Amino acid sequence: MAGDAKGELSWLQRIGLAIVHPRWALSIAGDRQNAGRSGSDLLLAIVVLLVATRLRAVIAAVWLGAAVEGALGARAFVNVLTRTLTVDLGFLVIGAVLLWSFAGKRRDLGRAFDLACVAALPLVYVDLLATTAVESFAFEVPVVVMWMISGIAYAWTGTLIAFAMPEARRAGGHGMSPPEATVRRARRAGVAVVLLAVVGAAIQLMSVARHVELVRPMTKGSPAPMFALPAIGPRGELGPKIALAPGKITILDFWATWCGPCLAAMPRLDALARSHRDVVVLAVNLDDPAAARALFDEKQYAMTLVADDNLTSERYGVSTIPHTVLIDGTGIVRLVARGNAAELEKHLTELSPPHP
Q: Which amino acid is at 311?
A: L
Q: State how far the Cα of 38 lies from the Cα of 21, in Å rounded to an integer.
A: 15
pTM equals: 0.73
304, β-bridge pairs: 282
For residue 312, the model assigns a pLDDT of 86
Walk along the chain (356 residues) and give the pLDDT tens digit of each residue. Answer: 344 444 588 999 999 999 999 999 999 998 888 888 999 999 999 999 999 999 988 998 888 888 777 877 887 888 788 878 887 888 899 999 999 998 888 788 999 999 999 999 999 999 999 999 888 776 677 778 888 998 999 999 999 999 999 988 886 655 678 899 999 999 999 999 999 999 999 999 998 898 887 777 777 888 888 889 999 999 899 999 999 888 999 999 999 999 999 999 999 999 988 988 889 999 999 989 999 999 999 999 999 999 998 878 878 888 788 999 999 999 999 998 887 777 888 888 887 766 65
For residue 4, the model assigns a pLDDT of 40
Correct CATH for 228-351 of 3.40.50.970, 3.20.20.70, 3.40.50.720, 3.40.30.10: 3.40.30.10
Spell out the SS3 assignment of 187-204: HHHHHHHHHHHHHHHHHH
For residue 354, the model assigns a pLDDT of 66
Torsion angle defined by CA atoms of residues 20, 25, 27 and 28, in that order, rounded to the nearest 10 degrees: 140
For residue 213, the model assigns a pLDDT of 74
For residue 7, the model assigns a pLDDT of 54
Q: How does strand 250-255 pair with strand 323-327?
A: antiparallel
Q: Which amino acid is at 52?
A: A
- Provide the 3-class DSSP secondary structure of residue 328: coil
Q: State how far the Cα of 67 lies from the Cα of 126, in Å rounded to an integer.
A: 34
Residues 168, 111 contacting (CB under 8 angstroms): yes
Domain assignments of the chain as residue spans, ordered by start: 11-214, 228-351
Q: State how far the Cα of 167 lies from the Cα of 99, in Å rounded to an integer.
A: 9
Q: Which amino acid is at 198?
A: V
Outline where the chain has alpha helix (H): 11-20, 22-30, 37-53, 55-67, 70-101, 109-137, 143-169, 180-210, 260-275, 289-299, 311-315, 344-351
For residue 355, the model assigns a pLDDT of 62
First to last CA, the chain: 88
Q: State how far the Cα of 303 lies from the Cα of 251, in Å rounded to an integer.
A: 10
Q: State how far the Cα of 7 lies from the Cα of 180, in Å rounded to an integer.
A: 10
Q: Which long-range contacts (CB under 8 A, 24 or more apart) does 92-97 make?
A: 92/42, 92/116, 92/117, 92/119, 92/120, 95/119, 95/120, 95/157, 95/161, 95/164
For residue 270, the model assigns a pLDDT of 93
